[in-house]
Amino acid sequence: KAGVTQTPRYLIKTRGQQVTLSCSPISGHRSVSWYQQTPGQGLQFLFEYFSETQRNKGNFPGRFSGRQFSNSRSEMNVSTLELGDSALYLCASSPAGTSFNEQFFGPGTRLTVL
């Protein structure tokens, strides 16, 4: 099976702009989670979607939002970008999103905010 794919791989934006990142899960996986990875904080959970519904959410401001489509593909949007949003954004998919499921990660989108 093809792995999790994320587009674009790299992105440069300026403060105040908005950005949309895309994630295509492994075929058959219905759960998609998003994480922000930074050197100091490690991986921080943003949110998880299953069957187009957000089931879990991390402690991020409302500027971070997402959605999932009927084909399980997911998008993440960040509005009013801040310098601190510069990070690697990882998407992970799993079959059903239960606690014992392994997560399969994409390569990430590197976002730089200038």
Contact residues for another protein, defined by CB under 8 A: 3, 31, 33, 35, 40-45, 48, 50, 55-56, 58, 90, 92, 94, 97-108
What is the residue type of 89? Answer: Y
Min dist. Cβ of residue 80 to another protein (A): 26
- Residue nearer to another protein on the CB measure, 81 or 97: 97
How far apart are the C-alpha atoms of 87 and 67, rounded to whole Å? 20
- Of 11 and 43, the one with the shorter C-beta distance to another protein is 43
Q: For residue 39, how far is the Cα from the chain centroid? A: 17
